[in-house]
Amino acid sequence: MLEPLAGVGKDVLAYGVGVCYVGVILTGSRGGYLSTAASLFVFGLLSLAILRRAEGGLFWKIGGAGILVAIVLGGLAIYYVAKSQFLTNRAQSVFETSNMRVDLWDSALRQWKLQPFVGTGAGTFAYYGRLFRTPRVQQDPIYVHNDYLHLLAEYGALGAGLLALLLGIHSWHGGKTFQRLGPKRVAVSHRIQSNALALNLGAIAALSSYFVHSAFDFNLHIPANALLMAFVFGLLANDGVVREREPSTRTISFSGWRLLLPLLGVVLLIQSSRLFPGEFFAEKARAAVRDGQAAIGMLHAIRGLTYAPGNPDLHFHLGLAKMLFGDGMESPRAAASFYSDAALAFERAYRIAPRDEIYGLHLAAALDGAARFDEAEAVFYDVLQMDPNSEALRRYYQSHLNTWRNWTPAPENQLEGGSEPAPNDNEGS
C-alpha cells in the first residue's frame, strides 16, 4: 500500500529538483552555473565510485545511462541558453577579469591588512569598502561577493582559521562516512540503496556547491542560506548509524561542551529581547519618514530612544523627520530652526557611528539648510576622506559649494537656502 506512495514521492521530488535546476539557469547567475556544475560533478563522481564496487555490471548499466542522461540534459540546457541573448552573454562572461567583483576583492584584502589577525569587526566592510573602493565601483559596496575574503577582512586570520577548521572537519567526517556507507558497504553487501548514504551523498554535493559559489558571491550573510548550510553540516557530522542507546563511554566533559550551544542560544535570546524595542521603533520611524509622515516618524524615533539611546538609526530617522518639517516650512527662519534641530540628531548618530558616511552626509545637508556652511564644509571634508572615489558624494559636495556661493542673507536676518538633499540610506554613496 505504501510502496506506490513512495514512488509518487520520489517522482515529485525529482520534479522539484528539475524545477530548481531550471530556476538556476533562468537566474543568469554565473556563480550559480559554476557551483551547480561543481555539485553535479561531485555527485556523479561519487555515484560512479559506488557503482564501481557493485556487482552485476551496474557500473555500466546505471553509470552509462546516467552519463547519457547528463549529456542530453546538458545539451538541452545549452540550447535553451543559446536562445536567450541575455543568458548567452552571462554564460560567456563567467571568467571575465574586468568584473567589478575583482575590485571588491582587492578592497577586502586592503581592509584585512589593517588588522590581519583579528580583523576590523563584523559589518565593517560597509565602511572600509567605501574607503578602498576604486573609481569603477560606484554602487554602495556592502558585500565583498566572496564569503572567504569577507570573513578574512572582518574577522582576520583567526576567523578564517576557524572557518577552515569547520569546513575541514565536516568535509573529512563526511568523506569518511561516505567511504563506510558507500564503496565499503556495497562491496560487502552488494546493496546499493541506503537512506543514510543518500543523505550523505547529497550533503557532500551541497557542500561542494557552497565551496564554489561562496568564492563569487555572498551566501552565509543570507539567513536562509545559513540555516540550510547548518542543516547540511549536521548531515555531514552524522555517521549514519542508528543506535538504540548512547555509548557508555561518553564523558562528562563532552556533555559539557554540548551545553555551550543552548547557552549561546540563551545569550542571543536575551540580547535580542533587549535590543528588539529599539530596532522595532527604528523600522517604524523609517517607514513613516519614507511615506512622508514626519510627525509619526518623529514620535516613533523618540519612543525608540527611550529604549535604545545608543541606536544611531533612531537619531538618524529623528533627524530625517525634522528635515521633512523644515522642508515644509514657508518661513525661512522656521525652516532653519528645524534644520538645526535635525543637525543635532544627525550629529548624535554620527558620533555613535563615525565611520558611517550616510550620517555625516545628512548632517552636512542639515547644516546647509540652516545656512551653517562653514560647519558643513568641515563635515564634508571628513566624509570625503572616508570615501574618496564616490562620484555621488562629490556631486553633493559640489551642490554644497554652489549653495554656499549663491547664498545671501534674507531681510531681517531670515535664513534661507539649502543644498541638494542627501541620499537615503545606502543609496549610491
What pLDDT, in 10s, does the model give residues 287-327? 999 999 999 999 999 999 999 999 999 999 999 999 999 99
- b/e for 256-273, b at 16 or more Cβ within 10 A? eeeeeeeeeeeeeeeeee
CA dihedral sign, ordered 124, 128, 133, 137: positive
How many domains are there within the chain?
3
More confident position, 253 or 371: 371
48 and 156, same structural domain?
A: no
182 and 136, same structural domain?
A: yes
396 and 332, same structural domain?
A: yes
Using one digit for the tens of pLDDT, what is the confidence trace for 389-429? 999 999 999 999 999 999 887 665 444 444 455 555 444 44
* Range 133-151 average pLDDT: 94
CATH number for the domain that contains residue 361: 1.25.40.10
* DSSP per position, 155-210: HHHHHHHHHHHHHHHHHHHHHHHHHIIIIIHHHHH-----HHHHHHHHHHHHHHHH
399 and 308, same structural domain?
A: yes
Range of the domain at 170: 101-237
106 and 60, same structural domain?
A: no
86 and 26, same structural domain?
A: yes
Instruction: Answer whether residue 387 is part of any domain.
Output: yes
The burial of 13, by beta-carbon neighbours within 10 Å (0-12 exposed, 13-18 middle, 19 or more buried), is given as exposed
133 and 80, same structural domain?
A: no
- At residue 249, the pLDDT reads 56
More confident position, 4 or 405: 405
- At residue 411, the pLDDT reads 62
Using one digit for the tens of pLDDT, what is the confidence trace for 152-162? 999 999 999 99
Using one digit for the tens of pLDDT, what is the confidence trace for 217-262? 888 888 899 999 999 999 999 887 666 565 555 555 556 777 888 8
72 and 135, same structural domain?
A: no
At which of 212, 237, 262 does a domain end?
Answer: 237
- At residue 93, the pLDDT reads 57
